[in-house]
Chains A and B, each alone.
Chain A
Amino acid sequence: MTPWLALIRPGDWLLMLVGAALVGASIPVFWQGGLADRAIIRQEGKVFAEVDLKARKQFAVSGPLGTTLIAVEPGRARVVSDPSPRQYCVKQGWLMRPGEIAICAPNRVSVQIAGRTKVYDSISY
């Protein structure tokens, strides 16, 4: 019986290391925008607040229908409550990835997650 480790030649180790490094390096490249680090809250299309996703915070944004409540937690944000009739933006739940957005259209409020780089989604196109 040959021990398993004896089957790996020096170059194999090298290639495994290079491979692991490439895989590691590919994470920020392909998961563009990197980690979510900001939440942008908009009211009537204008920026209402830009928050770092580090601390726990609550925002109350008023719109034509009433008040939209937005919660910010480390690494994520969501719409807690909203007066819109269909509650789409509330049902979206936590937003965690750069580019994700919850739009409470009737109340004209939106929350978007932003990362280091700008990402495009189908809405941008």
Chain B
Amino acid sequence: MTRSAIEHGTEGPLPPARDGRRVTQLTVTEEDRRVAWLATAAVGLSLVDAAIPSPLPGVKPGLANIVTLVVLARYGWATAVWVSGLRVLAGSLLLGYFLAPGFFLSLTGTTLSLLTLGLARHLPSRWFGPVSLSILAAFAHIGGQLLLARAWLIPHDGVFLLTPVFAGAALVFGTINGLIAAKLLAETPPSDSADV
């Protein structure tokens, strides 16, 4: 609570700038703070993800998507887009692949899975829960990556040779992440606090 008290202090009207220039003041809303916290959590999970050894490049648990799923359910699609976008950006900066091919693969995968989530969240929630959303998003993610890899990085159909492996991994990890997201959603009450 001290944090918000301090920030409330700075949010008050600024003293007039000494040399008379106008000062553009950026107000930090509660929403911004929430996005930042959630994106931090997602980046943290991205780092965990990167630390897990993988038998095949491209097969990753994608733990950060748990955050995306929870955010989608709690705060809506727009917030999920913000959190995912910031996660891709900050994650790539921290892991050192910003603007490298991996960054664009990550960006394409994330964009496609967000679009898929945007459509899939309208599925009747009585029947389809976070697990469904997670599986669909995982498939969209790997699909986007494979298409980008085929179109740009390795312009040969040989890229698709590993599709069954990637799709199988997407199904397994999608299910696991969806279950974790469902558990988080079921066991933590909705709150407006930024530190979910």
Contacts and interface: CB of A to CB of B under 8 A. Distances in A.
Interface of A: 1-2, 4, 7-12, 15-16, 19-20, 22-23, 26-27, 30-31
B74 interface: no
Nearest to A16: B175
B171 A11 contact: no
The 10 closest A-B pairs by CB, nearest first: A11-B127, A11-B128, A7-B182, A12-B131, A9-B129, A30-B163, A19-B171, A27-B164, A23-B167, A15-B132
A30 B171 contact: no
Interface residues of B, number: 28
Interface string B153-195: 0000000111110011001001100110011001100000000
Contact of B131 (A8, A22, A30): A8
Interface in B109-124: 123-124
B163 A19 contact: no
28 contacts: A1-B187, A2-B183, A7-B130, A7-B183, A7-B186, A8-B131, A9-B127, A9-B132, A10-B127, A11-B123, A11-B124, A11-B129, A15-B131, A15-B136, A16-B135, A16-B171, A16-B175, A19-B135, A19-B167, A20-B171, A22-B167, A23-B167, A23-B171, A27-B164, A30-B161, A30-B164, A31-B161, A31-B164
B123 A12 contact: no
B171 A8 contact: no
Contacts of B127: 9-11
Given A7-B130, A16-B175, A19-B167, 8 more contacts: A2-B183, A2-B187, A7-B131, A9-B126, A11-B129, A15-B128, A19-B171, A31-B161
B77 interface: no
